[in-house]
Structure 1
C-alpha cells in the first residue's frame, strides 16, 4: 500500500514543479527571442545582400556603358588620326586596346586627345612654296579653256544655221572662263596639303589664268 505523503513533502514537490515550470517557460521565451533575433538578422543580411547585388549590377551596367562609350570614342579618334596622317587602315592598324594596370577616368584623356587632333587637324593656308604650282594651275586652266574654245569655234565653222552663230559665242564664253578653270586643280592641291584655298592663292590662280587668256586672245586676234 502507498504510504501517505506528508504535507511538507508535497508542498516541496509543488514548489519544485513550479520552479521547473518557470525555468522551462523562461528558457522557451529565451529560445523564441533568440529565434526571432536570428530571423531578423537573417532578413537584414538578405536585404543587405540584395542591395549589394543591385548596386553591383548598376555598377556593371554603368561600367559597360562607359566601355562602349570609350570604344566608340577611340574608334572615332583613330579614324580622325588616320585621316590626318593620310594612311590606310592596313598601314595604321587597328585601334589600340585597353592598357593594363591603368586607373582613372578615361573621359578627360579622350577629351585631351580630341582637342589635340582638332588643333593639329585645323587646315592652314598654302605656303608660298606652292606659288609656282598655283601659277601652273592658272596657266593650265586657261590653256584648257582656250583649246576648248578653239574646238567649239571650229565646230561652229563647220556647221550651219544657228550653230554657226551660237557656237562661236559659246567658244568665247568658254575662253573667258579660262581664268577660273585653274581653281579646280588648285583646290585639289590645297586638299592634298590639308590647307584652305584662301583668297591669296585664288587671286594668284585667277591672275595667272587671266594673263594667259589675254595673251592667247591677243595672239589669236592679231594674226
Structure 2
C-alpha cells in the first residue's frame, strides 16, 4: 500500500506545478508573439515585393514604349538621311551601342537639329561670283541674239513683221538681264545653296551692263 504524502510536500509540488504552468504559458505567449511578428514581417516583405514587382512591370512597359519610339525615330531619321545624301546603299540603320547610357531622347533631338541644319541651304560662296557674272552676261547675249534674229526676220519678210518684230526684239533684249537667272539658279541648286540677294544682284548687274553695251555698240 502507498504511504500517505505529507501536506507540506504536496503543497510544494502544487507550487512547483503552478510555477511550471506559468513558465510554459509565458513561453507559449512569447512564442506566439514571435510568430505573429514573423508573420507580420513576412506579410510586409510580400507587400513590398509586390509593390516592387508592379513598379518593375511599369518600368518595363515604359522602357518598351520608349524603345519603340526610339526605333521609329531612328528609322525615320535614317530614311531622311538617305534621301538627303542620296546614299541608297547605306543599308539598315545601326543598332544601339552596347556601352550606350543615358536618355536617348536628347541624342535624337540633337541628330534632328543636325539634319535640319544640313538640309538648310546656305549662301553661295564668293568664289562663284565670276560664274554668276558669266551667267548674267550669257543671258544678256542670248536674249540680244534672239532679238537680233527677230529684227532680221522682220526686215526679211517686211509687212506687219517689219513693224512687230523690232518691238518684240526690244522686249526680248530688255529681258536679257533676267535670262541669266536661269543658269544661275541651276548653279545654286548644284551647290545646294540659295540664290540670295548678293548672287541675284551680281547676275542682274552683269546682264544689265552687257545689255546696255550691246545696245550701244549696235547703233
Give TM-score scaled by structure 2 length: 0.64
SS at structure 1 position matched to 2:85: coil
Does the aligned pair in 2 maintain the 1:178–1:213 contact within 8 Å?
Answer: yes
Q: How many residues align?
A: 211
- Equivalent residue in structure 1 for 2:181, among 165, 175, 183: 183
Q: Which residue of 2 aligns with 1:21?
A: 21
**For 1:1-223, what aligned pairs fall within 5 Å after superposition?**
6-8=6-8, 10-61=10-61, 63-64=63-64, 66-68=66-68, 70-71=70-71, 74-75=74-75, 78=78, 81-82=81-82, 86-106=84-104, 123-142=121-140, 143=142, 147=146, 173=171, 175-214=173-212
Alpha carbons of 1:194 and 1:88: their partners in 2 closer, same or farther (altered >3 Å)? closer
- 1-side partners of 2:135 and 2:75: how far apart? 38
Alpha carbons of 1:20 and 1:92: their partners in 2 closer, same or farther (altered >3 Å)? same
Alpha carbons of 1:93 and 1:133: their partners in 2 closer, same or farther (altered >3 Å)? farther
Alpha carbons of 1:5 and 1:148: their partners in 2 closer, same or farther (altered >3 Å)? farther
SS at structure 1 position matched to 2:93: coil
Alpha carbons of 1:48 and 1:148: their partners in 2 closer, same or farther (altered >3 Å)? farther
Does the aligned pair in 2 maintain the 1:149–1:170 contact within 8 Å?
Answer: no
Alpha carbons of 1:14 and 1:149: their partners in 2 closer, same or farther (altered >3 Å)? farther
- 2-side partners of 1:53 and 1:146: how far apart? 85
Give TM-score scaled by structure 1 length: 0.63
TM-superposed deviation, 1:190: 1.5
Supply the RMSD in Å over aligned alpha carbons. 4.6
